């Protein structure tokens, strides 16, 4: 597969041109990659320009073919930028006179909350019946149907996060059917699941009925940090025309060309035997899960490239650290490791060796409260109101201004505009969140 962006960047690096343009390093190596780091010079094009004959447009079309998308757009500021753009596109496409409502599973990334505040969207939450982690929010087709039937008009979109941070995967096909029956497009934050397209059969949201989704290429592909895709399904081609406008609203006019070149090169990587390499890696992870289960560890069901272990996470982290292994995410009860085909077989053996056998009883994580707070202000009104930071003990009864949570997993306990209820306090403490931003009284 052609790589027009990477080819252009390399040719320019070897051209001997005197660089009287940005960036300021002028191609002189400090890190070693500067010769390939350019800006929108003649022939390169602009990321948010819709010119169909640019090298960026050609490369994006290659990516769209790989993902079966009506349109795929490159992003250099991660899925967070895609999320904002998707919210904008959903609101812009809704029928005139209908309210700007998005129905969303409650384990949404905080980027969705910021997107709602910036766009004026109203959020209607899909709540779990119970949960043992903020990361989880299982949504059944029946629960989604009941929620949609209570609304006076179809929402601008339904929003799901799948896979979630612990690897939980939603039943996209069934939920998409419910959405479409009620006249609502389904948008999926698929930041952790770009590779799902290349399983056999595909488990990618676009192939299961989603109308639009974002993939963080850098999470599971050999792409530089920040590289992401915004995909539009052929069944929702009406979103495609304004994709670049939406991304330009929230993106820098100085995108990283190193990241763009890595996205371009990834097209060749994916088209050159990637499904077979992916299948081998999935098999290695399956074998590792089986080994760890035999040794007494609790390996949760998860998406195929994630190892999620439940138990005393601090103890597991200590063993991994001694073995020279770094993990993706850990809280009190869950440990998450993410693998890709770039992990050699020896890496999986290192995990098994480092963890050894589980010599402690497996204590299930506690069932966490699901505080359904009263919405007092819109996300926009709350986030833009004067606010202050107070200890969480003093935040109970106050209106949440800005969600305060670490990343990962960037899933808030309280949402902008909600009055923080007493049963949120145990969650703040459980996740070691010492303070909260509240609207100034």
Q: What's phi and psi for 430, nearest 5 deg? A: -60, -40
What's the sign of the alpha-carbon dihedral 216, 220, 226, 228?
A: negative
Q: Which three-class secondary structure string do you get for 367-424?
A: CECCCCCEECCCHHHHHCCCEEEEEHHHHCCCEECCCCCCCCCCCCCCCCCEECCHHH
List the structure tokens of 279: 């299948």
Cα distances (angstroms) measured from residue 195 to each of 7, 89, 122, 191, 210: 25, 24, 31, 10, 16
A 10 A CB-CB count for 137 gives 25
**Encoded tokens for 93:** 């496409």
Which CB contacts under 8 angstroms, 24+ apart, belong to 142-146?
A: 144/103, 144/175, 144/178, 144/179, 145/178, 145/182
- The domains of the chain, with CATH numbers, are 4-271 (3.40.640.10), 275-355 (3.90.1150.10), 374-439 (3.90.100.10)
- Please report the pLDDT score of residue 404 as a whole number: 74
Nearest to 402 by CA among 435, 427, 368, 372: 435
For 12-64, the pLDDT digits (tens) are 999 999 999 999 999 999 999 999 999 999 999 999 998 999 999 999 999 99
Q: What is the largest CA-CA distance in the chain?
A: 66
Q: Which residues contact 319 (CB under 8 A, 6 or more apart)?
A: 354, 355, 356
Reported pTM: 0.95
Q: What is the pLDDT of residue 362?
A: 76
- Which residues in the chain come in under a pLDDT of 50? none
Cβ burial of 428 (10 Å; 0-12, 13-18, 19+) is: buried
Q: Which of 42, 38, 74 is nearest to 57 (CA)?
A: 74
pLDDT at site 367: 87
What tens digit of pLDDT does each residue of 295-314 get? 999 999 999 999 999 999 99
Q: Rounded to an integer, what distance in angstroms lies between the CA atom of residue 321 and that of residue 331?
A: 15
List 131's β-bridge partners, or say none.
368
- Alpha carbon distance 195, 434 (integer Å): 36
Q: What is the pLDDT of residue 37?
A: 94
CB 195 within 8 A of CB 278: yes
Q: Output the six-digit token pair for 199.
A: 């399983």
Q: CB of 104 within 8 A of CB of 126?
A: yes
CA 195 to chain centre: 13
């Amino acid at each position: 597969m052609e790589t027009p962006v990477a080819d252009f960047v390399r040719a320019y690096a070897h051209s001997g041109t005197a660089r009287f343009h940005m960036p300021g390093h002028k191609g002189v190596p400090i890190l070693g990659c500067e010769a390939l780091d350019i800006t929108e010079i003649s022939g390169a094009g602009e990321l948010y320009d819709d010119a169909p004959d640019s090298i960026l447009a050609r490369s994006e079309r290659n990516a769209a073919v790989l993902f079966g998308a009506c349109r795929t757009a490159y992003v250099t500021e991660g899925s967070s930028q895609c999320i904002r753009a998707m919210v904008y596109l959903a609101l812009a496409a809704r029928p005139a006179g209908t309210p700007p409502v998005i129905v969303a599973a409650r384990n949404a990334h905080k980027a969705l909350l910021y997107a709602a505040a910036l766009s004026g969207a109203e959020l209607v939450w899909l709540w779990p019946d119970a949960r043992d982690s903020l990361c989880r929010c299982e949504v059944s087709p029946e629960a989604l149907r009941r929620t949609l039937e209570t609304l006076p008009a179809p929402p601008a979109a339904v929003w799901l996060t799948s896979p979630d941070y612990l690897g939980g995967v939603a039943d996209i096909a069934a939920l998409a059917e419910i959405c479409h029956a009620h006249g609502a497009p389904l948008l999926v934050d698929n930041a952790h699941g770009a590779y799902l397209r290349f399983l056999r059969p595909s488990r990618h949201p676009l192939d299961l009925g989603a109308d639009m989704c974002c993939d963080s290429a850098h999470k599971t592909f050999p792409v530089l940090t920040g590289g992401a895709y915004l995909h539009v399904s052929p069944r929702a081609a009406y979103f495609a025309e304004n994709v670049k406008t939406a991304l330009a609203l929230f993106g820098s006019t100085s995108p990283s060309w190193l990241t763009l070149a890595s996205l371009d090169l990834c097209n060749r990587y994916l088209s050159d035997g990637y499904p077979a390499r992916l299948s081998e890696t999935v098999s290695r992870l399956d074998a590792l899960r089986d080994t760890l289960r035999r040794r007494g560890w609790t390996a949760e069901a998860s998406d195929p490239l994630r190892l999620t272990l439940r138990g005393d996470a601090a103890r597991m982290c200590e063993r991994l650290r001694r073995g020279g292994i770094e993990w993706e995410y850990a809280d009190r009860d869950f440990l998450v490791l993410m693998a890709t085909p770039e992990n050699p077989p020896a890496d999986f053996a290192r995990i098994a060796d480092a963890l050894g056998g589980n010599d402690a009883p497996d204590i299930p994580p506690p069932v966490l409260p699901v505080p359904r707070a009263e919405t007092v202000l819109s996300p926009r009104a709350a986030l833009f109101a004067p606010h202050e930071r107070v200890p969480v003990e003093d935040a109970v009864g106050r209106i949440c201004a800005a969600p305060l949570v670490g990343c990962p997993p960037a899933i808030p306990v309280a949402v902008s505009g909600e009055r923080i209820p007493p049963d949120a306090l145990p969650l703040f403490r459980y996740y070691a969140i010492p303070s909260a931003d509240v609207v100034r009284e």
